[in-house]
Every structure is written in structure tokens, then in C-alpha cells.
Amino acid sequence: MKIGFSTSWISSKQPRKQRKYRFNAPLHIKQKFLGCHLSKELREKHERRSISVKKGDKVKVLRGQFKGKEGSVERVSVKHSKVYVQSIEFQKKDGSKAFHPLEASNMIITELNMEDKRRIKNGKEPSKKTGDK
């Protein structure tokens, strides 16, 4: 019987095992692959460097053929680890338009969708690793 997923693959140097880890990962781990950096203003405001991208966020593409384009996130596919942005489309052979899938790591969040109040906790709690006893 083949093993579908193993957490020990993450520490391998071999690219084939790293690809296998990402491809066979369960959805609760694939969700962590959708982390996206915050802009400088948001980073200072929320005291965080990155956060998972969600539908409704405004993003700017930093890499690839759509570099520099901005738009709001239309859809997030956790299964495929892809993000679909509203203004980034390609034309199919039959003339219809479809969203172009993008990697979350190739974009930066410029404006957060704050409909979910628990998305970012206000104020960071002090670290428990400090040596105060």
C-alpha cells in the first residue's frame, strides 16, 4: 500500500519529495501554502508580515506576466493552491474569458477584507518565550 501523505517529506532536499508533499497534502495543510505578504502600511498597522489571502482582498501582482497589475481576489482554490484576481483574465480560443490562476506567494496584499472580525487579532500578545520568571 502506498502512503498518501507523510509529514517527514517536508524536510527532504529532493525536489521530487517536496513536490509530492505539496501535491498530496491534506487541505488543512494546503491552506498554509496560501500565505501572502502584507504591504508596508498594513504590516505596520497589524504588526504582522503575512496572512492567508481571502476573497475580497485587494492585491498587487509582483511576479510573472501580470506584474504590476492590481485587483480584488475573486476566488481562492485551496485544493489547487491558486488565487484568482478580478482584473487578471485570459481569452480562450472560443472568445470567452477566464481568470488566470496565480500563486499567492507572487503577490502582496494592499487592502484587507475585514468582514471577519477574528481574522486579525487587535494588538499582539507578549511572547511567552521571554526569560521573565
Q: Hey, which CATH number is domain 55-114, 3.50.50.60, 2.30.30.30, 3.40.50.460, 3.10.20.310?
A: 2.30.30.30
CB 89 within 8 A of CB 100: yes
pLDDT band at residue 91 under the 50/70/90 scheme: very high
Q: What are phi and psi of 27, to 5 degrees?
A: -60, -35
> For residue 107, what pLDDT is reported?
96
Which tens digits make up the pLDDT trace of 29-84?
Answer: 999 999 999 999 999 999 999 999 999 999 999 999 999 999 999 999 999 999 99
Cβ burial of 107 (10 Å; 0-12, 13-18, 19+) is buried
Task: Name the residue ranges covered by the structural domains of the chain.
Answer: 55-114
CA 81, 86, 87, 90 dihedral sign is positive
